[in-house]
Structure 1
Amino acid sequence: MAARAAAPQQHAYVLHHYDWSETSLVLELFTREHGRIAVVAKGAKRPYSQLRGVLLPFMRLNVGLSKPSKLQEQGVAEVQTLRSAEWLGGATLPAGAALFSGYYLNELLMKFLPRHDPHPQLFDAYALALPQLSQPEEQQAAQAALRAFELRLLADCGLLPELSVLATTQQDLQAETLYTLSADSGVQLPAYEAPQLRGRHWVALQAALLHGSVAALQQACEQCCTDHGAALKAVLRALLQYHLGQRPLRTREVLVEAQKLLN
Protein backbone atom coordinates (compact mmCIF):
# COMPACT_ATOMS: atom_id res chain seq x y z
CA MET A 1 0.00 0.00 0.00
CA ALA A 2 1.36 3.39 -0.97
CA ALA A 3 2.26 5.76 1.85
CA ARG A 4 -0.23 8.51 2.59
CA ALA A 5 0.85 11.80 1.00
CA ALA A 6 1.62 14.58 3.45
CA ALA A 7 -0.41 17.75 3.45
CA PRO A 8 1.34 20.96 2.33
CA GLN A 9 3.52 22.60 4.94
CA GLN A 10 2.32 25.71 6.73
CA HIS A 11 3.50 28.31 9.22
CA ALA A 12 2.46 27.78 12.82
CA TYR A 13 3.06 28.68 16.47
CA VAL A 14 2.73 26.36 19.46
CA LEU A 15 0.07 27.72 21.84
CA HIS A 16 -0.08 24.88 24.34
CA HIS A 17 0.78 21.22 24.75
CA TYR A 18 -0.51 18.22 26.70
CA ASP A 19 1.13 14.90 27.51
CA TRP A 20 -0.39 12.20 25.33
CA SER A 21 1.81 9.28 26.37
CA GLU A 22 5.24 8.73 27.89
CA THR A 23 6.86 9.79 24.64
CA SER A 24 4.31 11.90 22.74
CA LEU A 25 2.49 15.25 22.98
CA VAL A 26 -0.75 16.77 21.78
CA LEU A 27 -0.04 20.30 20.55
CA GLU A 28 -2.41 23.19 20.07
CA LEU A 29 -1.07 25.06 17.05
CA PHE A 30 -2.07 28.45 15.65
CA THR A 31 -1.70 28.40 11.86
CA ARG A 32 -2.35 31.07 9.27
CA GLU A 33 -4.19 28.78 6.87
CA HIS A 34 -6.38 26.76 9.26
CA GLY A 35 -6.50 28.70 12.51
CA ARG A 36 -6.18 26.77 15.77
CA ILE A 37 -5.64 23.04 15.29
CA ALA A 38 -4.68 20.07 17.47
CA VAL A 39 -1.93 17.70 16.34
CA VAL A 40 -0.14 14.70 17.81
CA ALA A 41 3.66 14.91 17.95
CA LYS A 42 4.64 11.26 18.25
CA GLY A 43 7.92 10.62 20.07
CA ALA A 44 8.49 14.34 20.68
CA LYS A 45 9.40 13.75 24.34
CA ARG A 46 12.20 11.33 23.54
CA PRO A 47 15.67 12.80 24.24
CA TYR A 48 16.88 12.21 20.70
CA SER A 49 13.74 13.50 18.94
CA GLN A 50 14.42 16.21 16.35
CA LEU A 51 11.10 17.80 17.35
CA ARG A 52 12.05 18.24 21.01
CA GLY A 53 14.08 21.43 20.55
CA VAL A 54 11.67 23.30 18.25
CA LEU A 55 8.20 22.64 19.67
CA LEU A 56 8.37 25.69 21.94
CA PRO A 57 6.00 28.66 22.34
CA PHE A 58 6.55 31.90 20.40
CA MET A 59 8.82 30.36 17.74
CA ARG A 60 7.58 30.57 14.16
CA LEU A 61 7.64 27.10 12.67
CA ASN A 62 7.13 25.51 9.31
CA VAL A 63 5.16 22.33 10.02
CA GLY A 64 4.20 19.35 7.94
CA LEU A 65 1.07 17.44 8.93
CA SER A 66 -0.48 14.17 7.89
CA LYS A 67 -3.17 14.52 5.26
CA PRO A 68 -6.60 14.58 6.97
CA SER A 69 -8.41 11.26 6.82
CA LYS A 70 -11.98 10.98 5.56
CA LEU A 71 -13.18 10.84 9.15
CA GLN A 72 -11.33 14.07 9.93
CA GLU A 73 -12.77 15.75 6.85
CA GLN A 74 -16.25 14.78 8.05
CA GLY A 75 -15.58 16.26 11.48
CA VAL A 76 -15.52 12.93 13.32
CA ALA A 77 -11.91 13.39 14.42
CA GLU A 78 -9.88 16.57 14.69
CA VAL A 79 -6.35 15.51 15.53
CA GLN A 80 -3.73 15.17 12.78
CA THR A 81 -0.17 13.88 13.14
CA LEU A 82 2.79 16.22 13.10
CA ARG A 83 5.26 14.91 10.51
CA SER A 84 7.90 17.65 10.68
CA ALA A 85 8.64 21.00 12.28
CA GLU A 86 11.36 23.48 11.39
CA TRP A 87 12.17 26.73 13.19
CA LEU A 88 12.10 29.62 10.71
CA GLY A 89 14.44 31.82 12.74
CA GLY A 90 13.75 35.18 14.31
CA ALA A 91 12.70 35.84 17.90
CA THR A 92 12.89 33.07 20.48
CA LEU A 93 11.43 32.95 23.97
CA PRO A 94 10.80 36.41 25.47
CA ALA A 95 11.87 37.08 29.05
CA GLY A 96 10.47 38.82 32.11
CA ALA A 97 7.19 40.68 31.72
CA ALA A 98 7.28 40.03 27.97
CA LEU A 99 6.96 36.31 28.68
CA PHE A 100 3.71 36.91 30.58
CA SER A 101 2.44 39.06 27.70
CA GLY A 102 3.22 36.29 25.23
CA TYR A 103 1.37 33.71 27.29
CA TYR A 104 -1.50 36.19 27.63
CA LEU A 105 -1.84 36.28 23.83
CA ASN A 106 -1.75 32.48 23.70
CA GLU A 107 -4.44 32.19 26.35
CA LEU A 108 -6.71 34.60 24.47
CA LEU A 109 -6.34 32.52 21.30
CA MET A 110 -7.08 29.31 23.19
CA LYS A 111 -10.22 30.73 24.82
CA PHE A 112 -11.70 32.74 21.95
CA LEU A 113 -10.91 30.76 18.81
CA PRO A 114 -12.72 27.54 17.91
CA ARG A 115 -10.64 24.99 16.07
CA HIS A 116 -10.35 25.06 12.27
CA ASP A 117 -11.46 28.70 12.00
CA PRO A 118 -8.74 30.59 10.06
CA HIS A 119 -7.96 34.22 10.87
CA PRO A 120 -4.97 35.26 8.72
CA GLN A 121 -5.01 38.91 9.84
CA LEU A 122 -5.03 37.83 13.48
CA PHE A 123 -2.13 35.45 12.77
CA ASP A 124 -0.20 38.38 11.28
CA ALA A 125 -1.01 40.58 14.31
CA TYR A 126 0.27 37.83 16.60
CA ALA A 127 3.44 37.31 14.56
CA LEU A 128 4.26 41.03 14.56
CA ALA A 129 3.48 41.48 18.26
CA LEU A 130 5.84 38.80 19.56
CA PRO A 131 9.18 40.44 18.65
CA GLN A 132 7.93 43.82 19.87
CA LEU A 133 7.18 42.41 23.31
CA SER A 134 10.87 41.60 23.77
CA GLN A 135 12.09 45.18 23.37
CA PRO A 136 11.96 46.78 26.86
CA GLU A 137 13.22 50.09 25.49
CA GLU A 138 10.15 50.31 23.24
CA GLN A 139 7.37 49.91 25.78
CA GLN A 140 4.91 52.10 23.89
CA ALA A 141 5.34 50.04 20.73
CA ALA A 142 4.86 46.86 22.75
CA GLN A 143 1.66 48.20 24.29
CA ALA A 144 0.39 49.26 20.85
CA ALA A 145 1.09 45.75 19.53
CA LEU A 146 -0.90 44.22 22.40
CA ARG A 147 -3.83 46.58 21.84
CA ALA A 148 -3.78 45.90 18.08
CA PHE A 149 -3.90 42.16 18.74
CA GLU A 150 -6.81 42.53 21.18
CA LEU A 151 -8.75 44.67 18.70
CA ARG A 152 -8.12 42.27 15.82
CA LEU A 153 -9.16 39.31 17.97
CA LEU A 154 -12.42 40.95 19.04
CA ALA A 155 -13.20 42.10 15.49
CA ASP A 156 -12.45 38.70 13.93
CA CYS A 157 -14.65 36.96 16.50
CA GLY A 158 -17.54 39.34 15.79
CA LEU A 159 -17.39 40.79 19.30
CA LEU A 160 -16.33 44.37 18.54
CA PRO A 161 -19.05 47.00 18.06
CA GLU A 162 -18.81 49.62 15.30
CA LEU A 163 -16.34 52.22 16.57
CA SER A 164 -16.91 55.17 14.23
CA VAL A 165 -20.53 56.06 15.08
CA LEU A 166 -22.55 56.82 18.18
CA ALA A 167 -24.43 53.66 19.13
CA THR A 168 -27.69 55.37 20.10
CA THR A 169 -28.12 57.55 16.99
CA GLN A 170 -25.65 56.13 14.43
CA GLN A 171 -24.32 59.68 13.99
CA ASP A 172 -20.65 60.30 13.21
CA LEU A 173 -18.40 60.95 16.20
CA GLN A 174 -17.09 64.43 16.91
CA ALA A 175 -13.30 64.50 16.67
CA GLU A 176 -12.51 66.07 20.06
CA THR A 177 -15.47 64.75 22.05
CA LEU A 178 -14.74 62.03 24.62
CA TYR A 179 -16.62 58.73 24.25
CA THR A 180 -16.62 55.42 26.06
CA LEU A 181 -17.36 51.93 24.76
CA SER A 182 -20.14 49.69 26.05
CA ALA A 183 -19.64 45.97 25.49
CA ASP A 184 -23.30 45.30 24.76
CA SER A 185 -24.09 48.34 22.59
CA GLY A 186 -21.11 50.32 21.31
CA VAL A 187 -19.64 53.82 21.46
CA GLN A 188 -21.49 56.12 23.84
CA LEU A 189 -21.23 59.51 25.51
CA PRO A 190 -19.99 58.76 29.03
CA ALA A 191 -22.84 58.91 31.55
CA TYR A 192 -20.54 57.79 34.39
CA GLU A 193 -16.84 57.65 35.12
CA ALA A 194 -15.38 55.27 32.55
CA PRO A 195 -12.30 54.99 30.30
CA GLN A 196 -12.69 57.42 27.41
CA LEU A 197 -11.10 58.16 24.03
CA ARG A 198 -11.60 61.11 21.73
CA GLY A 199 -13.82 60.58 18.73
CA ARG A 200 -10.93 60.86 16.28
CA HIS A 201 -9.19 57.93 17.97
CA TRP A 202 -12.23 55.68 17.76
CA VAL A 203 -12.62 56.57 14.08
CA ALA A 204 -8.92 55.92 13.40
CA LEU A 205 -9.12 52.49 15.05
CA GLN A 206 -12.17 51.54 12.98
CA ALA A 207 -10.52 52.72 9.77
CA ALA A 208 -7.37 50.70 10.52
CA LEU A 209 -9.43 47.57 11.21
CA LEU A 210 -11.27 47.97 7.92
CA HIS A 211 -7.98 48.60 6.08
CA GLY A 212 -6.73 45.22 7.27
CA SER A 213 -3.09 46.20 7.68
CA VAL A 214 -1.55 45.16 11.00
CA ALA A 215 0.98 47.98 10.72
CA ALA A 216 -1.82 50.53 10.24
CA LEU A 217 -3.70 49.16 13.24
CA GLN A 218 -0.58 49.25 15.41
CA GLN A 219 0.05 52.84 14.32
CA ALA A 220 -3.51 53.85 15.28
CA CYS A 221 -3.11 52.09 18.63
CA GLU A 222 0.24 53.78 19.25
CA GLN A 223 -1.35 57.19 18.72
CA CYS A 224 -4.10 56.24 21.17
CA CYS A 225 -1.49 55.02 23.65
CA THR A 226 0.28 58.37 23.39
CA ASP A 227 -2.88 60.30 24.27
CA HIS A 228 -4.99 57.79 26.23
CA GLY A 229 -2.88 54.66 26.76
CA ALA A 230 -4.41 53.58 30.07
CA ALA A 231 -7.94 54.23 28.78
CA LEU A 232 -7.56 52.09 25.66
CA LYS A 233 -6.09 49.23 27.68
CA ALA A 234 -8.90 49.44 30.25
CA VAL A 235 -11.62 49.53 27.57
CA LEU A 236 -10.32 46.48 25.73
CA ARG A 237 -9.59 44.45 28.87
CA ALA A 238 -13.15 45.13 30.09
CA LEU A 239 -14.58 44.09 26.72
CA LEU A 240 -12.56 40.87 26.69
CA GLN A 241 -13.61 40.03 30.24
CA TYR A 242 -17.24 40.73 29.39
CA HIS A 243 -17.14 38.09 26.67
CA LEU A 244 -15.11 35.65 28.78
CA GLY A 245 -17.80 35.78 31.45
CA GLN A 246 -16.81 33.76 34.51
CA ARG A 247 -13.69 32.32 32.85
CA PRO A 248 -10.66 34.08 34.39
CA LEU A 249 -7.45 34.73 32.47
CA ARG A 250 -4.85 32.64 34.24
CA THR A 251 -1.88 34.60 32.89
CA ARG A 252 -3.27 37.85 34.31
CA GLU A 253 -3.77 36.24 37.72
CA VAL A 254 -0.21 34.89 37.74
CA LEU A 255 1.22 38.29 36.76
CA VAL A 256 -0.69 40.04 39.55
CA GLU A 257 0.59 37.50 42.09
CA ALA A 258 4.16 37.90 40.81
CA GLN A 259 3.93 41.68 41.11
CA LYS A 260 2.70 41.33 44.71
CA LEU A 261 5.73 39.21 45.57
CA LEU A 262 8.10 41.77 44.07
CA ASN A 263 6.55 44.75 45.89
Structure 2
Amino acid sequence: MSLASTAQAAFVLHSRPYKETSALVDFFTPQGRLRAVLRGARGKAGALARPFVPLEAEFRGRSDLKNVVRLEPNGIPNLLSGEALFSGLYLNELMIRLLPVEDPHPGLFEHYRATLPLLAAGSPLEPLLRSFEWRLLDDLGYGFSLDSDIVGQPVAPDGLYRLLPDSGLEPVGSLQPGLFHGADLLAMAEADWSAPGALAAAKRLMRQALAPHLGGRPLVSRELFMNRKDNSRD
Protein backbone atom coordinates (compact mmCIF):
# COMPACT_ATOMS: atom_id res chain seq x y z
CA MET A 1 0.00 0.00 0.00
CA SER A 2 1.36 3.43 -0.92
CA LEU A 3 1.24 6.20 1.63
CA ALA A 4 1.65 9.76 0.39
CA SER A 5 4.27 11.91 2.10
CA THR A 6 1.84 14.18 3.92
CA ALA A 7 2.19 15.43 7.48
CA GLN A 8 0.06 13.72 10.11
CA ALA A 9 -0.16 13.50 13.87
CA ALA A 10 1.66 10.54 15.40
CA PHE A 11 2.82 8.89 18.60
CA VAL A 12 5.62 6.38 19.04
CA LEU A 13 4.38 3.05 20.37
CA HIS A 14 7.74 1.28 20.41
CA SER A 15 11.25 1.80 19.07
CA ARG A 16 14.27 -0.46 18.79
CA PRO A 17 17.73 -0.11 17.20
CA TYR A 18 17.97 -1.01 13.51
CA LYS A 19 21.27 -1.40 11.68
CA GLU A 20 24.03 0.98 12.76
CA THR A 21 22.41 4.37 13.29
CA SER A 22 18.70 3.80 12.57
CA ALA A 23 15.67 2.72 14.58
CA LEU A 24 12.69 0.57 13.69
CA VAL A 25 9.67 2.40 15.08
CA ASP A 26 6.01 1.50 15.50
CA PHE A 27 3.93 4.67 15.17
CA PHE A 28 0.25 5.22 15.91
CA THR A 29 -1.42 7.75 13.59
CA PRO A 30 -5.02 8.48 12.53
CA GLN A 31 -4.22 6.24 9.55
CA GLY A 32 -3.48 3.36 11.89
CA ARG A 33 -0.35 1.63 13.15
CA LEU A 34 2.65 2.16 10.90
CA ARG A 35 6.13 0.65 11.06
CA ALA A 36 8.90 2.83 9.74
CA VAL A 37 12.67 3.19 9.63
CA LEU A 38 13.95 6.30 11.36
CA ARG A 39 17.40 7.16 10.07
CA GLY A 40 19.88 9.09 12.19
CA ALA A 41 18.17 7.84 15.33
CA ARG A 42 21.12 8.87 17.49
CA GLY A 43 20.51 12.54 16.68
CA LYS A 44 17.63 14.98 17.17
CA ALA A 45 15.04 12.71 15.56
CA GLY A 46 15.96 9.86 17.88
CA ALA A 47 15.50 12.10 20.92
CA LEU A 48 11.96 12.82 19.73
CA ALA A 49 11.08 9.21 19.01
CA ARG A 50 9.92 8.40 22.52
CA PRO A 51 6.52 7.14 23.63
CA PHE A 52 3.81 9.61 24.69
CA VAL A 53 5.32 12.61 22.84
CA PRO A 54 2.88 14.28 20.40
CA LEU A 55 4.57 14.36 17.00
CA GLU A 56 4.00 15.48 13.45
CA ALA A 57 5.46 13.00 10.99
CA GLU A 58 5.79 12.35 7.30
CA PHE A 59 6.25 8.85 5.94
CA ARG A 60 7.15 7.57 2.50
CA GLY A 61 7.15 4.09 1.03
CA ARG A 62 5.05 1.53 -0.81
CA SER A 63 5.69 -1.49 1.41
CA ASP A 64 4.51 -2.14 4.97
CA LEU A 65 7.86 -0.78 6.15
CA LYS A 66 7.94 3.00 5.59
CA ASN A 67 10.69 5.57 5.89
CA VAL A 68 10.34 8.59 8.16
CA VAL A 69 11.10 11.67 6.08
CA ARG A 70 10.23 14.26 8.75
CA LEU A 71 9.60 14.16 12.48
CA GLU A 72 8.77 17.23 14.57
CA PRO A 73 7.27 17.88 18.03
CA ASN A 74 3.55 18.66 17.94
CA GLY A 75 2.56 19.50 21.49
CA ILE A 76 3.54 19.16 25.11
CA PRO A 77 5.17 15.80 25.99
CA ASN A 78 3.14 13.63 28.34
CA LEU A 79 5.49 12.83 31.23
CA LEU A 80 4.37 9.54 32.70
CA SER A 81 5.93 7.93 35.76
CA GLY A 82 5.22 5.12 38.18
CA GLU A 83 1.97 3.26 37.61
CA ALA A 84 0.88 5.77 34.97
CA LEU A 85 3.99 4.90 32.92
CA PHE A 86 3.26 1.18 33.09
CA SER A 87 -0.35 1.90 32.14
CA GLY A 88 0.76 3.88 29.09
CA LEU A 89 3.14 1.10 28.05
CA TYR A 90 0.27 -1.36 28.45
CA LEU A 91 -1.95 0.65 26.08
CA ASN A 92 0.90 0.84 23.57
CA GLU A 93 1.50 -2.90 23.73
CA LEU A 94 -2.20 -3.63 23.24
CA MET A 95 -2.19 -1.62 20.02
CA ILE A 96 1.01 -3.21 18.73
CA ARG A 97 -0.46 -6.65 19.36
CA LEU A 98 -4.00 -6.03 18.12
CA LEU A 99 -4.07 -3.27 15.51
CA PRO A 100 -3.47 -4.40 11.91
CA VAL A 101 -0.87 -2.36 10.02
CA GLU A 102 -2.28 0.63 8.10
CA ASP A 103 -5.86 0.08 9.26
CA PRO A 104 -7.21 3.60 9.98
CA HIS A 105 -8.75 4.22 13.42
CA PRO A 106 -9.04 8.02 13.73
CA GLY A 107 -11.53 7.82 16.61
CA LEU A 108 -9.26 5.50 18.60
CA PHE A 109 -6.33 7.84 17.88
CA GLU A 110 -8.24 10.77 19.36
CA HIS A 111 -9.22 8.66 22.38
CA TYR A 112 -5.55 7.76 22.92
CA ARG A 113 -4.44 11.37 22.48
CA ALA A 114 -6.99 12.47 25.11
CA THR A 115 -6.04 9.66 27.53
CA LEU A 116 -2.32 10.43 27.77
CA PRO A 117 -2.65 13.87 29.45
CA LEU A 118 -5.06 12.33 31.95
CA LEU A 119 -2.51 9.64 32.78
CA ALA A 120 0.18 12.31 33.15
CA ALA A 121 -2.07 14.39 35.42
CA GLY A 122 -2.55 11.52 37.85
CA SER A 123 -6.20 10.75 37.06
CA PRO A 124 -7.49 7.42 38.43
CA LEU A 125 -5.96 4.73 36.24
CA GLU A 126 -8.56 1.99 36.23
CA PRO A 127 -11.40 3.95 34.56
CA LEU A 128 -8.98 5.22 31.89
CA LEU A 129 -7.67 1.74 31.14
CA ARG A 130 -11.11 0.12 31.01
CA SER A 131 -12.43 2.88 28.76
CA PHE A 132 -9.54 2.49 26.33
CA GLU A 133 -9.72 -1.31 26.29
CA TRP A 134 -13.42 -1.11 25.50
CA ARG A 135 -12.89 1.46 22.73
CA LEU A 136 -10.13 -0.68 21.21
CA LEU A 137 -12.29 -3.82 21.22
CA ASP A 138 -15.23 -1.94 19.75
CA ASP A 139 -13.15 -0.32 17.00
CA LEU A 140 -11.75 -3.71 16.00
CA GLY A 141 -15.25 -5.18 15.75
CA TYR A 142 -14.97 -7.28 18.92
CA GLY A 143 -17.35 -5.21 21.05
CA PHE A 144 -20.58 -6.50 22.57
CA SER A 145 -23.57 -5.11 24.41
CA LEU A 146 -23.30 -4.56 28.14
CA ASP A 147 -26.99 -3.97 28.77
CA SER A 148 -28.50 -6.84 26.74
CA ASP A 149 -27.67 -10.52 26.45
CA ILE A 150 -26.92 -12.66 23.39
CA VAL A 151 -30.63 -13.14 22.60
CA GLY A 152 -31.42 -9.42 22.96
CA GLN A 153 -33.01 -9.52 26.40
CA PRO A 154 -32.18 -6.67 28.80
CA VAL A 155 -29.54 -7.48 31.40
CA ALA A 156 -31.28 -7.98 34.75
CA PRO A 157 -29.63 -6.26 37.73
CA ASP A 158 -30.03 -9.42 39.84
CA GLY A 159 -29.01 -11.79 37.01
CA LEU A 160 -25.79 -13.71 36.48
CA TYR A 161 -23.94 -13.73 33.15
CA ARG A 162 -20.88 -15.18 31.53
CA LEU A 163 -19.00 -13.75 28.58
CA LEU A 164 -18.89 -15.63 25.30
CA PRO A 165 -16.15 -13.60 23.57
CA ASP A 166 -17.48 -14.22 20.07
CA SER A 167 -21.13 -13.55 20.98
CA GLY A 168 -21.66 -11.50 24.11
CA LEU A 169 -23.25 -12.05 27.50
CA GLU A 170 -25.08 -15.31 28.20
CA PRO A 171 -27.43 -15.58 31.20
CA VAL A 172 -26.77 -18.47 33.58
CA GLY A 173 -28.93 -19.86 36.34
CA SER A 174 -26.40 -20.79 38.99
CA LEU A 175 -23.24 -19.37 40.52
CA GLN A 176 -20.06 -20.44 38.71
CA PRO A 177 -16.48 -19.13 38.61
CA GLY A 178 -15.89 -16.15 36.33
CA LEU A 179 -19.47 -14.86 36.20
CA PHE A 180 -20.66 -11.26 36.23
CA HIS A 181 -23.52 -9.72 38.17
CA GLY A 182 -26.04 -7.87 36.07
CA ALA A 183 -25.83 -4.79 38.30
CA ASP A 184 -22.09 -4.52 37.61
CA LEU A 185 -22.63 -4.90 33.86
CA LEU A 186 -25.25 -2.16 33.86
CA ALA A 187 -22.90 0.12 35.80
CA MET A 188 -20.20 -0.54 33.19
CA ALA A 189 -22.65 0.31 30.42
CA GLU A 190 -23.13 3.73 32.04
CA ALA A 191 -19.43 4.09 32.96
CA ASP A 192 -20.64 4.46 36.56
CA TRP A 193 -17.42 3.61 38.37
CA SER A 194 -18.84 4.71 41.71
CA ALA A 195 -20.94 1.54 41.82
CA PRO A 196 -19.37 -0.98 44.25
CA GLY A 197 -17.68 -3.80 42.36
CA ALA A 198 -18.00 -2.22 38.90
CA LEU A 199 -14.31 -1.50 38.37
CA ALA A 200 -13.16 -4.92 39.56
CA ALA A 201 -15.76 -6.61 37.37
CA ALA A 202 -14.76 -4.45 34.40
CA LYS A 203 -11.12 -5.50 34.78
CA ARG A 204 -12.10 -9.18 34.75
CA LEU A 205 -14.46 -8.66 31.82
CA MET A 206 -11.84 -6.88 29.70
CA ARG A 207 -9.26 -9.57 30.42
CA GLN A 208 -11.70 -12.24 29.29
CA ALA A 209 -12.66 -10.24 26.20
CA LEU A 210 -9.07 -9.50 25.18
CA ALA A 211 -7.59 -12.93 25.86
CA PRO A 212 -8.75 -14.69 22.64
CA HIS A 213 -7.30 -11.90 20.49
CA LEU A 214 -3.98 -11.75 22.31
CA GLY A 215 -3.35 -15.48 21.99
CA GLY A 216 -1.30 -17.34 24.56
CA ARG A 217 1.61 -14.89 24.68
CA PRO A 218 1.62 -12.79 27.90
CA LEU A 219 1.79 -9.00 27.80
CA VAL A 220 5.30 -7.79 28.64
CA SER A 221 4.00 -4.54 30.18
CA ARG A 222 1.71 -6.46 32.54
CA GLU A 223 4.58 -8.70 33.68
CA LEU A 224 6.84 -5.68 34.25
CA PHE A 225 4.15 -4.01 36.33
CA MET A 226 3.56 -7.11 38.45
CA ASN A 227 7.33 -7.53 39.01
CA ARG A 228 7.54 -3.89 40.10
CA LYS A 229 4.73 -4.40 42.60
CA ASP A 230 6.39 -7.56 43.95
CA ASN A 231 9.75 -5.79 44.31
CA SER A 232 8.15 -2.86 46.13
CA ARG A 233 6.94 -5.26 48.82
CA ASP A 234 10.42 -6.64 49.49
Q: Same fold (TM over 0.5)?
A: yes
Do the aligned partners of residues 200 and 96 (structure 1) sit closer, same or farther apart at CA in structure 2, a change above 3 Å counting?
Answer: closer
Match of 2:70 among 74, 84, 88: 84
Shift, 1:178, TM fit: 5.3
Tell me, yes or no, if structure 1 residue 102 matches structure 2 residue 67.
no
C-alpha contact 2:90 2:222 (8 A) present in aligned 1: yes
Counterpart residue number, 1:241: 211
1:55 to 32, 38, 49: 49
The question of whether the paired residues in 1 share the 8 Å contact of 2:25 and 2:36 is answered with yes
Aligned partner of 2:105 in structure 1 is 119
Answer yes or no: is the 8 Å Cα contact 1:26–1:40 preserved in 2.
Answer: yes
Q: How does 1:157-172 map to 2 (within 5 A)?
A: 157-167=140-150, 169-172=151-154
Task: From the superposition, tell whether residues 80 and 97 of structure 1 become closer, same or farther in structure 2 (CA, over 3 Å).
Answer: same
After TM superposition, the structure 1 = structure 2 runs for residues 7-22 of structure 1, keeping only pairs within 5 Å, are: 7-22=5-20
Output the CA distance in 2 between the equivalents of 1:170 and 1:176: 17
- Residue 180 of structure 1 and its aligned partner are, at CA, apart by 4.2
**1:63-118 deviation digits (Å, cap 9, x = unpaired):** 1223x3xxx2xxxx222211211112224230011111010001000000110101
Q: TM-score, normalised by structure 1?
A: 0.78
Q: 2:178 aligns with which of 194, 200, 218?
A: 194
The change in CA–CA distance for 1:195 and 1:128 in structure 2 (over 3 A counts) is farther
Q: Residue 251 of structure 1 corresponds to which residue in structure 2? A: 221
Instruction: Tell me the CA shift for residue 125 of structure 1.
Output: 1.6
Could you tell me how far apart the structure 2 residues matched to 1:173 and 1:27 are?
Answer: 44
Deviates more, 1:181-190 or 1:12-21: 181-190
- State how far apart, in whole Å, the 2-side matches of 1:226 and 1:135 are: 24
Other structure's SS at 1:117 match? coil
Aligned residue in 2 for 1:64: 58
Is the Cα contact below 8 Å between 1:44 and 1:52 reproduced in 2?
A: yes
Gaps of 5+ in 1: 1-5, 206-219
Query: CA separation of 1:171/1:38 partners in 2, compared to 1, >3 Å: closer, same or farther?
Result: same
Cα separation, 1, equivalents of 2:180 and 2:144: 15
Deviates more, 1:106-115 or 1:11-20: 11-20
Contact 1:224 1:232 in 2 (8 A): no
8 Å CA contact 1:196, 1:232 repeated in 2:
no
TM-score, normalized by length of structure 2? 0.87
**2:35/2:65 contact within 8 Å kept:** yes
Q: Secondary structure at the match of 1:44?
A: coil
Per the alignment, residue 41 of structure 1 pairs with: 38
Classify the secondary structure of the residue corresponding to 2:46: coil
1:31 deviates by 0.4
**Aligned counterparts of 1:94 and 1:19: Cα–Cα separation in 2:** 23
Match of 1:50, as an amino acid? K
Q: CA deviation at 1:20?
A: 1.6
- Say what the alpha-carbon RMSD is for the aligned residues: 2.2
Equivalences, count? 227
Structure 2 unpaired stretches of 5+? none
| 1:131 maps to 2:91 | no
Q: Does the C-alpha gap of structure 1 residues 91 and 50 become closer, same or farther in structure 2, counting only changes over 3 Å?
A: closer
Which AA in structure 2 matches 1:147?
R
Residue 24 of structure 1 is aligned with which of 11, 22, 37?
A: 22
Q: Contact between 2:27 and 2:36, CA under 8 Å: does it hold in 1?
A: yes
**CA contact under 8 A between 1:201 and 1:224: conserved in structure 2?**
no
SS of the residue aligned with 1:22? coil
Show CA shifts across 1:224-257 (max 9, x none): 3544111111110221123222111111111111
Structure 1 stretches of 4+ with a deviation exceeding 6 A read none
